[in-house]
Amino acid sequence: MLKKYSCPVLDLQESLDRLYRGALPERAVVLTFDDGFYDFQKVVWPILKEYGYPATVYCTTYWATIARPVVPPIWNYLLWKGRGSVYRSLPDLASGFQLNLTSGAGLSMAMKSLISFADEKNLDGFQRDAITQQLANTVGVDYEEIRRQRLLHLLQPEELCELSRQGVSIQLHMHRHFSPNEEQNFKRNLEENRTYIENLTGSRPTHFCYPGGRYKPDFLPWLSDLGIESATTCNPRLASTKSKPLMLPRLVDTSTLSNIEFESWLVGIGDFVPQLRNNHILEAVAEETPKP
């Protein structure tokens, strides 16, 4: 569709420079990808190279240092794989606790229980990964196959370096995938993220994406203090000269976004569709868990 409508696909930095100068071409598009999962390199980037399209990847980095499937997304996946059954408690969890995955409410409760347990115990990544292994064994999924396929794994340092060398813009998405409400913790999380990326790519990232699309007014001056030039939300609007650089809108393309809806944004009318039509996008974002 981007090719069909002759949409100029621009680099993020170039697009922002031209946006605020009022010099964007018609139907200009920026392609951004959150988190930095391995499948971006394996699946997405080869396709973009075929079209000659630039891309920005907002990378979270903690789980890249662990080199294990990311929690909690992998827990969500495993619970989904085990849906329809009731399972005994995991060894690390309280005795008597059952995973009742026979309903949506049961799936949700199981997920909340796993996260609460890990947070209350202040488990690190390797300890959370031990729960992942137990959960995989419980629901009958081959954990080693998950690791072999790099399912829900983040890009490793050498892969990020190679993507950067090939022109992918590697930008900020917090070291741990959540935005602390306290200024000191917020800045520390972001600076860890920046240091990791800068050490690998040799380039200092200055663009940020709010994890899960969650932001507060307090965050804006903290971002300014850290020299952040832009921050992207998940608010579905078209960017304009009136858009605040630290509250940029973005259309989140999910599996529930129909082709006709996507097409409506490319031709510019999607911005005028009632917000209700885009609730599925906001709901998809809201389901993300902001904990590491």
3-state secondary structure string, 264-289? HHHCCCHHHCCHHHHHHHHHHHHCCC
What residues have CB less than 8 Å from 187, skipping those under 6 apart?
A: 222, 225, 226
How high is the pLDDT of residue 292?
40
Are the C-beta atoms of 95 and 167 separated by less than 8 Å? no
Only one residue has tokens 């971006």, namely 40
Q: Reply yes or no on whether the pLDDT at 276 is more than 50.
A: no
Cis omega (within 30 of 0) for bond into 8: no
How high is the pLDDT of residue 123?
94
How high is the pLDDT of residue 240?
94
Q: Reply yes or no on whether the pLDDT at 229 is more than 90.
A: yes
Report the Cα 107 to chain-centroid distance in Å. 22
Q: What is the mean pLDDT of the chain?
A: 91
pLDDT tier for residue 80 given thresholds of 50, 70 and 90: very high
Question: Which of the listed ranges 42-46, 97-101, 260-264 does the model predict with the highest average pLDDT?
Answer: 42-46
How high is the pLDDT of residue 287?
46
- Cα torsion 254, 161, 222, 213 to 10°: value is 10
Domains of the chain, CATH where assigned = 12-66+154-286 (3.20.20.370), 73-149 (no CATH)
pLDDT tier for residue 274 given thresholds of 50, 70 and 90: low
How high is the pLDDT of residue 98?
79
- What's the pLDDT tens digit per position in 92-103? 765 556 789 999
Are the C-beta atoms of 262 and 1 separated by less than 8 Å? yes
CA dist 32 and 18 (Å) reads: 17
| Surface-to-core class of residue 7, CB atoms within 10 Å of its CB (0-12 exposed, 13-18 middle, 19+ buried) | middle
Q: Reply yes or no on whether the pLDDT at 182 is more than 80.
A: yes
- What's the pLDDT tens digit per position in 200-214? 999 999 999 999 999
Three-state DSSP state, 24 = coil
Q: Reply yes or no on whether the pLDDT at 286 is more than 50.
A: no
CA dist 183 and 179 (Å) reads: 10
How high is the pLDDT of residue 96?
58
Least confident of 13-27, 87-101, 176-190: 87-101
Are the C-beta atoms of 154 and 63 separated by less than 8 Å? yes
Least confident of 74-78, 94-98, 133-137, 146-150: 94-98
Q: Which two tokens stand for residue 112?
A: 């909340």
Amino acid occupying residue 169: S
How high is the pLDDT of residue 102?
95
Task: Give bridge partners of residue 58 from the DSSP assignment.
Answer: 34, 171
Q: Which two tokens stand for residue 85?
A: 């059954």
How high is the pLDDT of residue 269?
83
Q: Which two tokens stand for residue 203?
A: 């380039």
